[in-house]
Amino acid sequence: MAGFDQELDATGLNCPLPILRAKKALATLASGQILRIVATDPGSVKDFDAFATQTGNELLESGEESGKYVFLIKKA
């Protein structure tokens, strides 16, 4: 898995908190930096897909790791 600049722990949080927290975290990053998000909400898989498409931030990776969902988003 590629490196990242910041990690967001969104485990235990349900819709819409994972993407809301991600938006907040991304705001603190510089363009090109990568945010790693760990979530347990199964709905977050589609949510982050939509988030990336709608906001123009690139979803580099979306996968599972030890029962949790892990996403890598690069700030546009």
Partner 1 sequence: MSEKKLAIIATKGTLDWGYPPFILASTAAALGYETQIFFTFYGLQLLKKRMNLKVSPLGNPGMPMPMGMDTWFPVLGTALPGMESVMTMMMKKKMASKGVATLEDLRELCLEAEVKFVACQMTVDLFDMDPSSLIDAVEYGGAATFFEFAGDTDICLYI
CB closer to partner 1 out of 33 and 55: 55
Shortest Å distance, C-beta 15 to partner 1: 7
Stretch that binds partner 1, among 13-21, 30-38, 58-66, 67-75 (CB under 8 A): 13-21
- Could you tell me whether strands 68-74 and 34-39 are parallel, antiparallel, or unpaired per DSSP bridges? antiparallel
Helices (H), the chain: 17-27, 44-55
The active-site residue out of 9, 14, 15, 46 is 15
44-55 and 17-27 are packed helices; what angle lies between their axes, rounded to 10 degrees?
Answer: 40
Q: Catalogue the active-site residues.
A: 15
